[in-house]
Amino acid sequence: MRLLADLPTNSRANLPTSLRADLTTSLATFSYSKTVKEITDSIIFGRGQKLFLDNFVLNSHKLTLQNWLRFEVLDKKQTYFPKIPLLHLLIPFDNWNNSALAFEEVASCDCDYFATFGICSHLVASCCWLDSHFKLNSKNLSNLDSNLNSKNQNSNGQKNLLDQIFAAEIDKTQTIWLNNWQYYLLHPISPKNSSWFKKASWLREVADKSELNQSFGVRIKRDFASFYRDFYKEKILTALSFETILAGGLFWWNFWQSEIDLWSEDLQIKFWSNLWQNRNQNQLKLIWKNISDRLKTLEIHQKNQIFGVLSNKSNNSTQDFRISLELSLDLELLSWLEDNLEHFDIETLLKLNPVLIDEFEKINTLIAKKFLDWSNFVQTGDNYEDFARVLKAWQSVADERIWSETISQITSLHRKKSKLISLIKEFTDKTTLPKPKTQSLSKLGRIFGKN
């Protein structure tokens, strides 16, 4: 079948009235832009309409295959060649409800976005051109049947198209943001890449403009559901989520909060691991408490997976232990902490005291032992000051009985260290300290390995 406008005049005149009416109606009512909108990311759809508005649909050519057109669309100084079937001629009128599915199955473009994600802005721009072309040229149909009032149909069609175009006109800043967003989805840039600075600057700009970024966030979130149906797309999206937080801080962290649980678990683990490894970066450092609070709410199997990814990865046992300790504290991975209590220094045990409630007595006993060992070797000067400072910090969270008995034993064993004893008495009331009880001290001594 050929385009109706391509038929010779006498051929049109010889068409049956019913067929002429059907073809006229098809050109007057079929909308390519509405058809493609059903299957297109809303941001991509808006970009396509803008390409059309800016007259970047340069040309169209008939293909050898009947009722197919190839377009030339200019986008960022590069020309692309989308191919589109003339659906209003190829699909029966009573089957138009399947036109979007048919379009998705056969339309194509040579751009990278189409190869990766499907329907692109170049196809959308071409569809807008088709709507404009057929609506503007529907005056040719007036020769078929004057009773069809095709002029009014043409006017209504143009008005509908303009309504769509004006609806796509958004704030200039947000248009730039949307373009950048699509670009970075297609061209991921690692923070290790020299081009990262430009990308990070844009992400910070979005984060800083509170009057615009909320509506921008709502706009790009509309299309996330389609990403979660495709692991490759989801992988790109989750990688970009890490980069946005790394560059833009709190706004982007809050933006992704409701999305994280929707990702596949492997990608969630990678996301959390990346954040933790970069926790000392400027933007992350500022919001680390927010992230750490969320880490503590993860399921235990997720915590174990993150721990497995990040711990024991170097050849330095001391560094591995330090990393494992920090990670366990951020994750509140209690099992690892409980298993390694004896290896922690006093100040780490003090941090764990309010966390490991079930191990309270054991932790205080270990702290007491370490203080007694420390008191045997501590020297004069600043070391006394440091000893007294940590001992005072323990007082506020200690088991009262163990703390009192430890103070008593230290002051009894080290009477010659008068300066140390004086520093301890500055924050303890000697009259409230119990006299050493032989039984209690013997028991404590056994715990500490003392005679």
What is the pLDDT at residue 92?
Answer: 80
Confirm whether 156 is domain-assigned. Answer: yes
CA 391: distance to chain centroid? 44
Residue 108 is given by DSSP the state: B
Does 272 have pLDDT greater than 60? yes
Confirm whether 295 is domain-assigned. Answer: no
Q: In angstroms, rounded to a whole number, what is the distance separating the alpha carbons of residues 288 and 376? A: 39
What is the pLDDT at residue 2?
Answer: 35
Does 65 have pLDDT greater than 80? yes
User: What is the mean pLDDT of the segment spanning 16-30?
Assistant: 48
Please tell me whether residues 212 and 233 are part of one structural domain: yes
Please tell me whether residues 21 and 100 are part of one structural domain: yes
**Domain end residue (candidates: 135, 169, 203):** 169
Please tell me whether residues 73 and 140 are part of one structural domain: yes
Q: Which residue has the higher pLDDT, 8 or 141?
A: 8
pLDDT digits over 98-120, tens only? 889 899 989 999 998 998 888 99
Q: What percent of the chain has pLDDT over 70?
A: 75
Does 450 have pLDDT greater than 80? no
Residue 396, number of CB atoms within 10 A of its CB: 9
What is the pLDDT at residue 232?
Answer: 80
What is the pLDDT at residue 383?
Answer: 82
Please tell me whether residues 165 and 177 are part of one structural domain: no
What is the pLDDT at residue 194?
Answer: 63
What is the pLDDT at residue 163?
Answer: 46
User: Which of 6-10, 61-65, 135-139: highest mean pLDDT?
Assistant: 61-65
User: What is the mean pLDDT of the segment spanning 73-86?
Assistant: 92
Q: In angstroms, rounded to a whole number, what is the distance separating the alpha carbons of residues 119 and 97? A: 18
Confirm whether 62 is domain-assigned. Answer: yes
**Domain end residue (candidates: 122, 138, 169):** 169
pLDDT digits over 177-213, tens only? 777 777 777 766 666 666 666 777 878 888 887 767 7
Residues 56, 75 contacting (CB under 8 angstroms): yes
Confirm whether 320 is domain-assigned. Answer: no
75: helix, strand or coil: strand
Please tell me whether residues 156 and 74 are part of one structural domain: yes
Instruction: Tell me the residue range of the domain where 411 lies.
Output: 362-448
Confirm whether 313 is domain-assigned. Answer: no
What is the pLDDT at residue 25?
Answer: 46
Please tell me whether residues 177 and 158 are part of one structural domain: no
Confirm whether 321 is domain-assigned. Answer: no
Burial group, residue 81, by CB count within 10 angstroms (0-12, 13-18, 19+): middle
Distances (CA, A) of 302 to 270, 308, 310: 11, 10, 13
Residues contacting 308, CB < 8 A, separation 6+: none
* Bridge partners for 74 per DSSP: 79
Please tell me whether residues 81 and 200 are part of one structural domain: no
Please tell me whether residues 138 and 184 are part of one structural domain: no
What is the pLDDT at residue 22?
Answer: 44
What is the number of residues in the chain?
451
Please tell me whether residues 145 and 40 are part of one structural domain: yes
Residues 189, 199 contacting (CB under 8 angstroms): yes
Q: In angstroms, rounded to a whole number, what is the distance separating the alpha carbons of residues 415 and 429? A: 17
Confirm whether 352 is domain-assigned. Answer: no
Please tell me whether residues 54 and 19 are part of one structural domain: yes
Please tell me whether residues 432 and 367 are part of one structural domain: yes
User: Which of 28-42, 47-61, 140-154, 346-360: highest mean pLDDT?
Assistant: 47-61
Does 322 have pLDDT greater than 50? yes
What is the pLDDT at residue 441?
Answer: 31
Q: Which residue has the higher pLDDT, 451 or 191?
A: 191
User: What is the mean pLDDT of the segment spanning 241-254?
Assistant: 88
Residues 364, 353 contacting (CB under 8 angstroms): yes
User: What is the mean pLDDT of the segment spanning 287-303?
Assistant: 91
Report how many domains make up the chain. Answer: 3
Does 436 have pLDDT greater than 70? no
Distance between first and last Cα of the chain:
105
Closest CA to 270 of 212, 309, 236: 309
Please tell me whether residues 102 and 8 are part of one structural domain: yes
Confirm whether 318 is domain-assigned. Answer: no
**Per-residue exposure over 410-449, b if at least 16 CB sit within 10 Å of its own CB, e if not:** bbeebeebeebbebbeeebeeeebeebeeebbeebeeebe
Q: In angstroms, rounded to a whole number, what is the distance separating the alpha carbons of residues 287 and 180? A: 25
**Domain end residue (candidates: 287, 303, 319):** 287
